[in-house]
Structure 1
Amino acid sequence: MSDPTPLTGLLPLLGSAFLAGAVTQLARQLARPVPPRARMVTALAAAAGIAALTVVALLTALLRPAPAPALLLAAACVTGWSGPGILTRLGTLLERKLGLPPEAAREGAGERESWHIRRPSRGSD
């Protein structure tokens, strides 16, 4: 499933996907009745951009013939709206397809480290 397009040829597409995902999440966060702190908004927008970039890269590599750019842009926006949590679900799906054991079984008895975005307290920024 090798893609003959070199990475430099994909950079505009991947950059557009990142930007579309980030701007979509930024709009979602700023549309909330009480917008979260600037740092939180920035982190969510960056994470959504990375998620959108990942989904578009996977679609580009896996689908043949290559999807239309409009479809890829739509996928980036939908991913951006959904946010970075989609990467967790996508990772779990890929691990199952590869036949890897669940994450808890790989880590053994140690406590699982995870990254969660916490709601800020009302008085801090």
Structure 2
Amino acid sequence: MAGRSGRAQAAACPCGSGAAYSRCCRPLHLATAEAPTAEALMRSRYSAHAKRLPEHLLRTWHPTTRPAQVELDPATRWTGLRVLSIGDGGPDDLTGVVEFVATYETPSGPGRLHEVSRFERTGGRWTYVDGDPD
């Protein structure tokens, strides 16, 4: 039984959606699907941090605010995501806002990132523009 629950847990998407990673954020990470909403993109970006996929972060960053590179700290382990609010960002919207809290652990202890993120549909797909961390 222990092995079975371990496999089920490993298959869960880090974004906390309750769906399996293979059906949730993985297609976005592989660029075989596009996020239908700003929230879905934000969740995939959180999962990219958790799975250490900087190329997904760069690919989904708005071209006017995208950094030249993204370096992920290998000592940071992302432990949870909670979406607090969503403003627009639906399949027919051009902009959206997602407020969230992401928790993590580092060698110096636990932490949290509370951010209000802005998204824009660019070239028919959602991109992360910027965010206001608190």
- Structure 2 length as normaliser, TM-score? 0.25
Considering fraction of residues, name the structure with more helix: 1
More strand by share: 2
Computing the radius of gyration from Cα coordinates, the structure with the larger value is: 1
Q: Which of the pair has the greater relative contact order for Cα pairs under 8 Å at 6+ separation?
A: 1
